[in-house]
Amino acid sequence: MSHAGPCQWSRAPGRLADGSTAAVDAEIRAPKLPGPQGRVDSWLPMFSVRHYLDDYVSVLWQLDERAVERTAHVLLGAWRMNRAVFCCGNGGSAATACHVAADLTKLTQPPGGRHLRAVSLTESMSAISAIANDIAYEEIFAEQLRAQLVPGDVLLALSTSGSSPNVIRAVEYANTAGGITVGVTGRHGLELKLISQHCLVVESTSVQQVEDATMVVGHLLCLRTKELIARDGQEALSDLSLPSPCLRVADAAR
C-alpha cells in the first residue's frame, strides 16, 4: 500500500512515519481551533486523554470508603448465611455484573472453605429474550429473581443513570421478597438511591467514568469481602481450638 505523504502514522506510538514526534507533541500540548477553511491541520480534538484521566482520578478519590465497607459486610453476611448474591445491569454494566459475579465466586473462597455464591442475571440470553418477548423487557431481571431469590439473598444492582426500568423493577421485587438490595449508580441516580437499602454513588455525570468506577467498586468489594471472610473463618477456627466442653450457639451456627 502506498502512503499519501510523509505525515502518515507509523505503528510506533507517538511517532510519525518520517520519524518525528514534534507534530504529535504539539497536538497534545496545544490543540488548535478549526481554521476558516476547516483545514485538517487545524482540527481541534474534542476529547482530551489527560483531562479524562485527571477527572477519573478525582472521581475515584470521592468514592465513599464507608459505603464500600458496609456493603462488604452485607456480602459477608450472605456468605455466613449461605445466601446468594445476584448482579444485574445494562450495557457496560451488564458486562460488569458478569465480571463482579465471577470475582465474588472465585476470589472470596477461604482456604478449604465454601464459596460465596454469586450469579449474574445478565448471562442467559435465552431467559432474557424469553422474558422480554413474552412479558416485558422491564421484567428481565425481576422475573429471574422470582424463580431464584430467597430471603437474605443480596441483589447488587448496577445502573449509571439510576433509572433503568428493568433494574428498578428488580430492586423493587427484591425489597418485597426479603432480599437485601445494594445499588451502584452515578451522581444523578436518585431513583435507584432512594429504593435501594444500601447505595454506592459514583460522583460523576460521565457514563464512561461511572462505568469505569463501578468496576473499581466491584474489585474493592471483592477484595474487602475476601479479607472479611478469611478473618471470619480464622476466628471460627480459633474458637474451635479453645479448651471448652461446648461451642457457643453463634459459633456453631456458622
d(CA 230, CA 116): 12
Q: Residue 110: which of 254, 199, 230 has the closest Cα?
A: 230
Q: Please check the confidence at residue 247 and state whether its pLDDT lies above 60.
A: no
Higher pLDDT among residues 242 and 47, named by residue: 47
d(CA 19, CA 221): 46
What's the average model confidence in pLDDT over 17-23? 57
d(CA 228, CA 239): 16
The three grid cell numbers given for residue 40, joined into one nine-digit string: 485538517
The three grid cell numbers given for residue 210, joined into one nine-digit string: 461511572
Q: Please check the confidence at residue 242 and state whether its pLDDT lies above 50.
A: no
CB 209 within 8 A of CB 239: no
Number of C-beta neighbours around residue 165 at 10 A: 15
Confidence class for position 136, pLDDT limits 50, 70, 90: very high
**What integer pLDDT is reported at residue 2 of this predicted model?**
44
d(CA 171, CA 161): 15
Exposure on the CB side of residue 44, measured as CA atoms within 13 A: 8
Q: Residue 211: which of 71, 69, 100, 76 has the closest Cα?
A: 100
Residue 240 CA, chain-centre distance (Å), reads 37
Would you mind telling me the total number of residues written for the chain in this entry?
A: 254
**What integer pLDDT is reported at residue 42 of this predicted model?**
52
- Look at 144-148, 192-196, 246-250 and tell me which has the smallest mean pLDDT: 246-250
**What integer pLDDT is reported at residue 132 of this predicted model?**
98
Q: Residue 96: which of 117, 123, 78 has the closest Cα?
A: 123
In this prediction the pTM is 0.77
* End-to-end alpha carbon distance in the chain: 68
- Look at 4-8, 24-28, 62-66, 92-96 and tell me which has the smallest mean pLDDT: 4-8
Q: Please check the confidence at residue 7 and state whether its pLDDT lies above 50.
A: no
CB 160 within 8 A of CB 93: yes
CB 47 within 8 A of CB 54: no
What's the average model confidence in pLDDT over 230-244? 60
**What integer pLDDT is reported at residue 252 of this predicted model?**
41
